[in-house]
Structure 1
């Protein structure tokens, strides 16, 4: 399949330009000719939901996903219900913005019982599905790298995410393939094939060596060791043809001028994705 020859599928995951407001990100994408954006909820909240929609549509952008829902496990039933209600608000926001997918970062265990926490994740998704379906939103389970299991997600492999997603209809729940989180997995390519049409998003960045930070350590594509193109080709062979989000948590990138970040992002996307 080779290299990508255009940026028609390129999406700015807004966290890559964390220092920018949603207005600045939308206007930056328009200037750079980047056709897609994935807003983050805290940026939408800063701007206001209706104004966020107006800015995105005014810039001529399409919304690849909304980040993020999830964080289902909590020590009490009341807290878990509150988190479910927040996820319902996230679904409403995704629908208002014109997204088709809400990305789920499923959350850590509140105690040492990781199996029970995974049960709460499944239970939370099960309760959210009917509401999401009513609003035309698909739920994308994003497995995170195992190093983030204690703080961010008890779902740590694509196989685990597939098993969870397969409990539901494919039109309701799927998976997000983020190369930073899954590149190391010896079962990766078999699990990508297994996911097939359930793949709802594809995120790219790179794994820097040595890794400078567990969260803020992602590199621009080409700066690390991930076989990004091979993974992209596998995702496409499984049937995914949607937008490709560049999602980079990195303080040095955040501190760089946003326009320079987008220019480098486009260049590396064409060269390495």
Structure 2
């Protein structure tokens, strides 16, 4: 029986499966919505990935990822722009709802956070015409502040929405509960995102206490402290009723379990916790 409202980000079973096998596991459990990563697509080649998506009538809630705009040299920044344009084309070929942007942190050796913010906004602006031409929305994903130096210097939903307001049509946000649940202004910013019609994706997992690793110790829904139903209510009240996308990085737990068990647990927890 199809599982309505649930998508599996294929990072959740990336250590167990390649792209095709991951699709098979999801289909076995009635899941027809996925969000692959570019390296998973590249491993089978884009043409084959598109064939798998179309032949199984899959819905892609997003493609991960573009971004990483800040860099030390102009040559590096141009290379990042070229890579983002390729990512846009890949997302369009796959029929994804959006291309998720992890925007990048401080350039190597830099302490200038303001300059990194400027590079991010300038980078998105530079690739936005290509995204508009391809009819591919760009979803800025604000990451938890612990990632500001290395992965994403956009760390609040409010900051991401400021960029969206500045750049206009074609840019929105991916709201990942792992990264924004702590924000005391979250409810106001989700409502703002709704008014802007800027919500493009909703990612779910849980925050474990304690967290053993800042990157690869995310929890299964219900195992941590995030009030998932409350955040979902805010998002639905803001006008977004799209699928909830499970994205779990878990080197010490879920990546060690059989993919079939992981996806089955995602379905059960989605129904009981989300």
Which of the five TM-score ranges fits, normalised by the shorter chain? over 0.9
Deviation per CA, 1:11-32: give whole Å up to 9, x if none.
0101000121000111111111
Normalising by the residue count of structure 1, what TM-score does the alignment of the two structures yield?
Answer: 0.96
**Alpha-carbon distance in 2 for matches of 1:57, 1:250:** 29
Residue in structure 1 matched with residue 54 of structure 2 by the alignment: 57
Unaligned runs of 5+ in 2: none
Q: How many residues align?
A: 267
* 3-state SS of paired residue (2:248): coil
Deviation per CA, 1:200-241: give whole Å up to 9, x if none.
000000000001110011000000000111001100100111
Deviation at 1:56, TM superposition (A): 1.9
* 3-state SS of paired residue (1:200): strand
Q: Does 1:217 align with 2:213?
A: no
Q: Say whether the 8 Å CA contact 1:30–1:61 is kept in structure 2.
A: no
- Please show how residues 15-34 of structure 1 align to structure 2 within 5 Å: 15-19=11-15, 20-34=17-31
**Alpha-carbon distance in 2 for matches of 1:81, 1:201:** 27
User: Which of 70, 74, 90 is the matching residue for 2:71?
Assistant: 74
* 3-state SS of paired residue (1:206): coil
**Alpha-carbon distance in 2 for matches of 1:213, 1:49:** 32
Residue in structure 2 matched with residue 181 of structure 1 by the alignment: 179
Q: Does 1:265 align with 2:262?
A: no
- Please show how residues 87-166 of structure 1 align to structure 2 within 5 Å: 87-110=84-107, 111-166=110-165
Q: Say whether the 8 Å CA contact 1:30–1:60 is kept in structure 2.
A: no
Deviation per CA, 1:81-126: give whole Å up to 9, x if none.
1000000000000001011200000001111111001100000010
**Alpha-carbon distance in 2 for matches of 1:56, 1:9:** 18
Deviation at 1:167, TM superposition (A): 1.0
**Alpha-carbon distance in 2 for matches of 1:59, 1:26:** 9
**Alpha-carbon distance in 2 for matches of 1:124, 1:153:** 13
Deviation at 1:150, TM superposition (A): 1.1
Deviation per CA, 1:137-174: give whole Å up to 9, x if none.
0000000000111111000001100101111224x000
Residue in structure 1 matched with residue 228 of structure 2 by the alignment: 228
Cα root mean square deviation, aligned: 0.9
Residue in structure 2 matched with residue 13 of structure 1 by the alignment: 9
**Alpha-carbon distance in 2 for matches of 1:141, 1:232:** 19
Deviation at 1:7, TM superposition (A): 2.9
Deviation at 1:191, TM superposition (A): 0.4
**Alpha-carbon distance in 1 for matches of 2:85, 2:57:** 27
